[in-house]
Chains A and B, each alone.
Chain A
Amino acid sequence: MGSTNSTLLKIPNVEVLMQETGFSPAHIIRLHDRFKALDKEGRGHLCPHDFGAIKELAMNPIGDRIIGAFFSPGKETVDFHTFVKILAHFRPVDKDRPKEPNSPEPINSRSNKLKFAFQLYDQDKDGKISRDELLQVLRAMLGMQVTDEQLESIADRTIQEADLDRDDTISFEEFRKACKHKRFTMFRFCIRPGERKLMLTLCHWSSELQDQHEL
């Protein structure tokens, strides 16, 4: 227990961080360990190439976008606080958290989670997913054997489906509405709590969907 405390003490403003993110001390220590492991040169902050060194990310079609999400525009580095705050998006929604009317929305709220996903599409940060942006995501996520024409037609249809105000882009509001559809009520996009157990839960519906395709 003593070591836990001493590790915690090394992190500046740890109380504020825990309050903001809702992570437990054990979570913070675990993440701090990881942060230090990623920060090979020991500079106290991470650069994009630190993330690039994670080999699994190179296998992730949208890995670069996710790396990009850690860096606010114009910034080349991310410190531990920001790192933890971004990961806090993935904590489960606290059901039994006392609702104080005045408190700000927690990072891990549903809408913030969706916002995080949304900004991965919305690369130019104008609050809208344009056709081009969608195409880029599609191109990244679809196999090479899909032709561009097919790609475009998929993009068009996708926009049509979600686009409520007919401006040929998907705004965040439209994005949210599209995701509310039926099974998206089960939306879980989070890190599961538990002392030292840091774990992501899959959105249940999507894993089921996957299974069905494979069986």
Chain B
Amino acid sequence: MASSVYLCLLRAVFLVCFVNPLIQGLSEDESVFQNPHHQQEENLTGLPIVTFKWHHVETPYLVIIWVFVAGLAKLSVVELNHHVISVVPESGLLIILGFILGGIVWGADRAQTFKLLPPTFFYYLLPQIILDASYFMPNKLFFSNLGAILIYAIFGTCWNAATVGLSLWGCYEAGVMGNLDIGLLQFLLFGSLIAAVDPVAVIAVFEEVHVNEVLFILVFGESLLNDGVTVVLYNVFDAFVALGGPRIDAAEIFKGIFSFVVVAFGGSFLGIGFAILLSLLTRCTKHIQIIEAGFVFVVGYLAYLTAEMLSLSAILSITFCGICCQKYVNANMDEKSVTTVRHAMKLLANGSETMIFLFLGVTAIDTEIWVWNTGFILLTLLFVFIYRIIGTFLFTWMLNKFRLVPIEVIDQVVMSYGGLRGAVAYGLAALLDEDKIPEKNLMISTTLIVVYFTVILQGITMKPLVQWLKVKRAAHSDLKLIEKLNNRAFDHILAAVEDICGRIGDNWWTRGWNRFEENYISWLLMKPKARKNRDYLFSIFHKLNLEDAINYVSEGERQGSLAFSRSDEAANVDFKKQFGSEFADVMPNIMVDMSNYELGIEHFSVTSIVKDTIPSVSLDIHGQDRKNAMDDINAHHLLQQHLYRSRKHHRHKYSRSHFSINQNEDEVQEIFQRTMRSRLESFKSTKMGVNPAKKITKHHKKELTHKMPNGHPDGTGHLYGDEEVEGLCVFLPHLIEAGIENPVFLPDMDSPTHSPPWLMETEAVAPSQRAQRRLPWTPNRLRRLAPMRISTCSTDSFLMADVSLTLEEHEEHSQTDHVEM
């Protein structure tokens, strides 16, 4: 591991060492021979077979080389020793690596040839990061905290800019900084640019410290919007500086404030407009699915550039474009395009983020920009830090008077500490006009120092701080099993009760908006088909079933034969119909859709499953497993590892580099599947009472229970063990019968709602093997399993004890059901 890391590093360094002198040497050549083109042509004596044409490709080549180096840098940083990674955030490491690379370049050139120029940053690197952040924004969370986010973003930023600027000016007037050529307006301009809390840096750090989702969205949302606000503020002050102090009167100030409002909100509305355009566009890309993914990027960028052109806030524009369009675009586009967009978006954003941090480091290694003024720099650091804290507490105090859930003190501390400055501040500083602001370089170097200080130092200390703030507990190593279990159970209970009580933001406004959105906006912006498929439960259910079907096939392939999936002999079971009939009664409204889904595998010949070779090792594994489990089971460990997490602890959904860092996704699916199946079960068991062909059903059931999970749902796959095959063999005749007699199996019968109840019991051929192994251990299920366990001398017989009892109970139960019905 480590060696490969160093190899990567070495490679990166080598590359830079070799390529840069090469580039340098070549550009010197260029300057020596005034016109290489000309020279070449003149000296031409014969037809050259190959020529070296560096100048043709110079710019794109350099760009791509740097992209490549950035990629390598990221690779080496991520693969670096995990101890380092856990201490220093990735962004900090990239900056440090940038120092090294910058040093190499400087060593070769004696000057910094490569810099992060503001146009490059604002036009090519920033947009995709903002688009990514907004496109994957957890919308519900964002909008339910929108008020707080706006307060922090707008007033917090203004507060920071004003206080930092004014305090610096005050200190300057007091003579702390010596002789500088800076006026009040310039100080305010500097204050406004340094007020930009950088979303990239913030996410990079906050993703590694796991804070609660409200805190995350507050910090993240704030930093995202605050960039926009900063730029607007910066432009206003820039205009003031250009205007010059004496000419500013009340009217100009009023105009400045007005322009601030217009620019910020105008940008936002422009973004929303582009979001609508994008949603409408994706509505009609049914026949050109291959390019619909491109629209997301193009329209997003267009929103950015258009806003820039109209001198509205470009960042806010692209932010709102991303936030507003995501729902409709994702629903409208083909599933493949959605995946493409996601991957491409993450790729672009991650790439530019890496470039930005790397270049923030590289840029620093330059003698030109460094102007040192101890007073100015240290005071800036101090003020930035202090006013952030004061501002956060001040605004939180005001917000808490209105908020349903007050923001706690710890959260406030983390928030104020999370005021990381990043590339936006640097970009704005580099954008300063040297004619108007003579001390530009001082401002740049101060900004850089603030960036390094916040990203690296605060980044490093953030995690320990979060841990330390929450660690108000004694060590608890000797927690008992029952306590552990209870802890988690209580979590689940709380989560459930909270769901029953409704969400906190679930008030009249949200409900009204939701209704409006559902009725009108969705109608306008979503494909009719997409609207129908929106049903949440169904979409998950569909996904799970697809997955099951795929697993079913791959399981078959793993067993060494695919014959069963494409055999036309004997008892064919129409997978689709079978499936449909099983769930028809529970979800009648979705069954119509269900028949539209081509699963690709329509015919499963059960006979071939039976004929399929039974892996001879499976029983051994079985025995071994049990033995091992009995021997060295560490119950505590197991509990810790496998207890389902409560929804309470699901982390925020946005992640820089993954679509979801919520590792509970699988769990959620598992639980969901179980819940649905157990509900199905209970539904069926009540249905059983009205079953006319009760005898047959019972028979079926007995055979079928044979096939119930035999206690090893661990995926080691002894699917076709003796018991199952036995069960299937007995079951088979009925199945064939079913296949022939059942009208549901007739072709072109799409409505499976009238399937005979006894068909519902044919679950041995139900969607998948895995799904069966996952059948829930509800009380009903256990009772039904009980008789079978005895008859087959099953090994996992924790039910043995009360078998007879449960059997009776079961009989009684169904009897009473019958009566009740």
Q: Which A residues lie at the B interface, using CB under 8 A? A: 31, 33-34, 37-38, 51-52, 54-64, 66, 87, 90, 117, 120-121, 123, 131-132, 135-150, 152-154, 157-158, 161-162, 170, 175, 178-179, 181-184, 189, 191, 196-200, 202-203, 205-211, 213-215
Contact between A179 and B501, CB atoms less than 8 A apart? no
By size class, the interface of chain B is 35 or more
Q: Which residue of A lies closest to B796 (CB)?
A: A148
Contact between B490 and A63, CB atoms less than 8 A apart? no
The CA of A68 and the CA of B501, in the complex, are separated in Å by 16
Pick 6 A–B contacts, CB within 8 A, sort by A.
A37-B506, A62-B496, A144-B670, A145-B642, A147-B629, A149-B625
Sort A-B residue pairs by CB-CB distance and give the 3 closest, nearest first: A143-B642, A148-B711, A56-B499
Contact between B504 and A64, CB atoms less than 8 A apart? no
Since A60-B495, A154-B633, A161-B482 are in contact, a sample of 20 more A-B pairs with Cβ atoms closer than 8 Å, ordered by chain A residue number, is: A54-B500, A57-B500, A59-B672, A61-B671, A136-B782, A141-B488, A143-B644, A143-B667, A144-B713, A147-B712, A147-B713, A149-B626, A158-B635, A178-B482, A178-B486, A189-B493, A200-B497, A205-B473, A208-B473, A214-B210
Most chain A Cβ neighbours within 10 Å, of B487, B626, B679: B487
Contact between B405 and A202, CB atoms less than 8 A apart? no
The CA of A135 and the CA of B504, in the complex, are separated in Å by 34
Count CB-based A-B contacts (< 8 Å).
235
- The secondary structure that dominates the A interface is helix
Contact between A158 and B679, CB atoms less than 8 A apart? no
Knowing A61-B492, A199-B404, A202-B491 are in contact, say whether A143-B670 is a contact too (CB < 8 A).
Answer: yes
Most chain B Cβ neighbours within 10 Å, of A54, A58, A158: A58
**A199 touches which of B405, B777, B796 (Cβ 8 Å):** B405
Contact between B638 and A59, CB atoms less than 8 A apart? no
The CA of A131 and the CA of B798, in the complex, are separated in Å by 9
Segment touching A, from B269-277, B291-299, B645-653, B731-739? B645-653
Contact between B777 and A63, CB atoms less than 8 A apart? no
The CA of A191 and the CA of B498, in the complex, are separated in Å by 9
Contact between A64 and B625, CB atoms less than 8 A apart? no
**B679 touches which of A64, A162, A183 (Cβ 8 Å):** A64
Most chain A Cβ neighbours within 10 Å, of B479, B493, B641: B493
**B643 touches which of A121, A142, A170, A182 (Cβ 8 Å):** A142
Contact between B712 and A61, CB atoms less than 8 A apart? no
Contact between A157 and B635, CB atoms less than 8 A apart? yes
Point out the residues of chain A lying under 8 angstroms from B502, CB to CB: 33-34, 37
Knowing A145-B713, A205-B487 are in contact, say whether A150-B497 is a contact too (CB < 8 A).
Answer: no
- A40 to chain B minimum Cβ distance, whole angstroms, is 13
Contact between B675 and A202, CB atoms less than 8 A apart? no
- A26 to chain B minimum Cβ distance, whole angstroms, is 11
Q: Does B483 contact A (CB under 8 A)?
A: yes
Q: Which B residues lie at the A interface, using CB under 8 A? A: 210, 404-405, 467, 470-471, 473-474, 476, 479-483, 485-502, 504, 506, 511, 536-537, 625-626, 629-630, 633, 635, 638-649, 667-668, 670-672, 674-676, 678-679, 711-715, 774, 776-779, 782, 796, 798-799, 801-802
The CA of A202 and the CA of B497, in the complex, are separated in Å by 12
- A7 to chain B minimum Cβ distance, whole angstroms, is 12
Contact between A63 and B675, CB atoms less than 8 A apart? yes
Point out the residues of chain B lying under 8 angstroms from A152, CB to CB: 796, 798
The CA of A38 and the CA of B523, in the complex, are separated in Å by 25
The CA of A197 and the CA of B504, in the complex, are separated in Å by 8
**A178 touches which of B470, B471, B483, B640 (Cβ 8 Å):** B483
- A90 to chain B minimum Cβ distance, whole angstroms, is 6
Point out the residues of chain A lying under 8 angstroms from B483, CB to CB: 178-179, 181, 184
- A213 to chain B minimum Cβ distance, whole angstroms, is 7
Point out the residues of chain A lying under 8 angstroms from B511, CB to CB: 37
Contact between B675 and A64, CB atoms less than 8 A apart? yes
The CA of A154 and the CA of B500, in the complex, are separated in Å by 31
The CA of A28 and the CA of B743, in the complex, are separated in Å by 53
- B547 to chain A minimum Cβ distance, whole angstroms, is 14
Point out the residues of chain A lying under 8 angstroms from B712, CB to CB: 147-148
Most chain B Cβ neighbours within 10 Å, of A148, A154, A183, A197: A148
Contact between B482 and A158, CB atoms less than 8 A apart? yes
Point out the residues of chain A lying under 8 angstroms from B777, CB to CB: 135-136, 139-140
**A117 touches which of B404, B486, B625, B679 (Cβ 8 Å):** B486
Contact between B639 and A142, CB atoms less than 8 A apart? yes
- B774 to chain A minimum Cβ distance, whole angstroms, is 6
Q: Which residue of A lies closest to B537 (CB)?
A: A55
